[in-house]
Amino acid sequence: MAALAVVLVLLVTTLVIVIWYQWRQGEQEVLDEQAAEAEIMRGRLERNRDAGEFDEAVGARLEDIVEDLVTRTQDGELVSVTERPDDLQVVAVVGVPPAIAISAQSGVDKACFEFTVPPSPAPVIVERLSPDEGRWPDECYGFSS
């Protein structure tokens, strides 16, 4: 009887470890996919900047151009575009489907990124604003969920 209890405890412990490992691996896949989508968005911003798309555009027209670039990215949503003296600041949200291991969640897993678009030929700087867990900073609000 004691041997059966030990086997049962080992079986349950192994099952818990396997589930935990798959869940953590799924979370990392989501973070990697979000970063990949942000890199796609960064590349689009750089190419359009280098092509001169942002040079003459101001105000609403600039926001329309940037929004078009952002929404072409998987579940991309533009939060804000800020023209600053030396660069352009874009805050956007990207969404990716949840990983299979943690697919009990419906919808998409969203992350908020800031893109600093300096004058050519400097690279666009990408910074993840939303933490892996917890509350998003104020800069990330303004999109519809």
Over residues 64-106, the pLDDT tens digits come to 889 998 988 878 899 999 988 889 999 999 988 776 655 555 5
- Contact at 8 Å (CB) between 48 and 65? yes
| pLDDT for res 27 | 78
In a domain, 145, yes or no: no
Q: Global pTM?
A: 0.76
Structure tokens at 65: 């151009």
Tell me which residues of the chain have a pLDDT lower than 70. 58-59, 99-107, 133-134, 142-145
Nearest to 46, CA basis, from 87, 93, 86, 85: 87
**What's the CA gap between 4 and 50, in Å, rounded?**
69
| pLDDT for res 145 | 43
Unique residue bearing structure tokens 């990207």: 94
Domain that holds residue 53: 2-140
- Contact at 8 Å (CB) between 117 and 54? yes
Structure tokens at 42: 């960064």
Count up the domains in the chain and report the number. Answer: 1
Q: Beta 109-117 vs 88-96: how paired, if at all?
A: antiparallel
